Amino acid sequence: MAALPKRIIKETERLAREPVPGINAVPHEDNLRYFDVSIHGPQGSPYEGGIFKLELFLPDDYPMTPPKIRFLTKIYYPNIDKLGRICLDVLKSNWSPALQIRTILLSIQALLGAPNPDDPLAPDVAKRWKEDQEGAIATAKEWTRTHAMT
């Protein structure tokens, strides 16, 4: 494997030195491009109190291409599908090489506080979110309790 670019080393160092509140990202010892991430559910959202695990992988041409991120913890959310894939523009077409791991993780944390059922990745969840928002939020809380609080 090619040597790790200076930028990845710097980002990793900074994540360890000045961690973002409520976000934790640690690279694997044997693969420094692969991170174990945990995000605390934002306050005031149905995910409050839960700790959600994600995996993050920096492809070879990072930062020219976006990092690959996936939820590992089950979550009831209209823009995250069963496999944990996230519908977030900056992870796809709107990626910019000036974005960093920490900014992306902050975006994801903010996304949890602002579900967008009009651009769904999980159509059944989005449908329920639109038709029965209270019930959907109750389910989201229930899932948070069972899957993200252990």
Partner 1 sequence: MPPTTHHPLDPSLPHSNSIEPDNDDIAALNIPGSSSSLSSSNIYKHLRTPSTSSLNIRHPIDLRAITYDGAVDENLVCPICRCPLVDPVLTECDHIFCRSCIDDALSNTKLCPIDRSPLDSDGVGRAPKMVHNQLDSLKAKCPRCTSSFARSMLENHLEKYCLEANVKCPGIHSERYCKEVVKRRMSGRGCLHYPVDCPDCKETLLLVEMEEHREDSCNEKLKACEHCGVDILRCKESEHHKECPDIIRPCKWVEYGCQHEAKRKDLHLHTDDCNFKLVGPMADTLKKEISILRSDMRSLAETNHLQERRIKFLESGQRASDRPMELMDLSLANLPESANTEPLDSGHEYLLSLLESQQSRLSQLSNELADFQGKNTMMLLNETIPIKNELSELRSTQQVTCMHVRWLMRFRMQENQRRFGGSPGPGPSGSPDGGSGSDLPFSRRLSDSAPRDIITKL
Catalytic residue ranges? 87
Rounded Cα–Cα distance for residues 12 and 15 (Å): 5
Within the chain, what is the greatest distance between any pair of CA atoms?
A: 51
Burial of 116 (0-12, 13-18, 19+ CB in 10 A): middle
Nearer to partner 1, 27 or 63 (CB): 63
Query: Which residue of 31, 94, 133, 146 would you call a contact of partner 1, by CB under 8 A?
Result: 94
Query: Which residue of 4, 7, 26, 43 would you call a contact of partner 1, by CB under 8 A?
Result: 7
Rounded Cα–Cα distance for residues 123 and 18 (Å): 38
Query: Which residue of 1, 83, 98, 114 would you call a contact of partner 1, by CB under 8 A?
Result: 98
Determine the number of helices (DSSP H) and then strands (DSSP E) in the chain.
4, 4
Q: Which of residues 17-56 bind partner 1 (CB under 8 A)?
A: none
Nearer to partner 1, 10 or 82 (CB): 10
Nearest approach, Cβ of 85 to partner 1 (angstroms)? Answer: 22
- Give CA separation, 70 vs 67, 84, 127, in Å: 10, 5, 22
Nearest approach, Cβ of 36 to partner 1 (angstroms)? Answer: 22
- What residues make contact with partner 1 under the rule CB under 8 A? 5-7, 10-11, 63-65, 94, 96-100
